[in-house]
């Protein structure tokens, strides 16, 4: 009696392993993140209602403009420990 459920479980595990193998083969290797967590916010915001972007040839910021970590700010921010971030303008 216990052998039938064991065979079903074994068959299911083998099927999952065989069907899942091609997905793992196609995946790209993981690139480790920057150790300091440094990010430069040099791309304009896709949302015209938030962040920095160009309007009629002028640099314009909408909403949360004091935040150095919004898109398009030009600041480079990095982790400095204990959950703190340091941002410097470029």
Q: pTM of the full predicted structure?
A: 0.53
The count of domains in the chain is 1
Residue pLDDT, tens place only, 6-62: 787 777 767 666 666 555 445 454 444 566 678 888 888 888 888 898 889 998 998
Residue 55 falls inside a structural domain: yes
Tell me which residue range forms the domain holding 50. 39-89
Residue 3 falls inside a structural domain: no
What local confidence, expressed as pLDDT, does residue 30 receive?
Answer: 45
Residue 13 falls inside a structural domain: no
Give the residue with greater pLDDT, 23 vs 73: 73
Residue 65 falls inside a structural domain: yes
Residue 20 falls inside a structural domain: no
Residue 11 falls inside a structural domain: no
What local confidence, expressed as pLDDT, does residue 12 receive?
Answer: 73
What local confidence, expressed as pLDDT, does residue 88 receive?
Answer: 92
Q: Are strands 84-89 and 58-62 parallel, antiparallel or unpaired?
A: unpaired
Residue 69 falls inside a structural domain: yes
Distance (Å, whole) CA 7 – CA 2: 9
- Helix H or strand E segment including 60: strand 58-62
What local confidence, expressed as pLDDT, does residue 29 receive?
Answer: 47
Residue 80 falls inside a structural domain: yes
């Amino acid at each position: 009696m216990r052998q039938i459920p064991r065979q079903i479980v074994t068959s299911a595990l083998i099927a999952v392993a065989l069907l899942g193998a091609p997905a793992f083969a196609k995946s790209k290797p993981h690139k480790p993140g920057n150790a300091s967590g440094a990010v430069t916010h040099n791309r304009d915001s896709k949302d015209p209602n938030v962040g920095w972007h160009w309007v009629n040839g002028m640099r314009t910021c909408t909403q949360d403009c004091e935040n150095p970590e919004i898109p398009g700010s030009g600041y480079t921010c990095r982790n400095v420990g204990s959950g703190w971030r340091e941002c410097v303008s470029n």
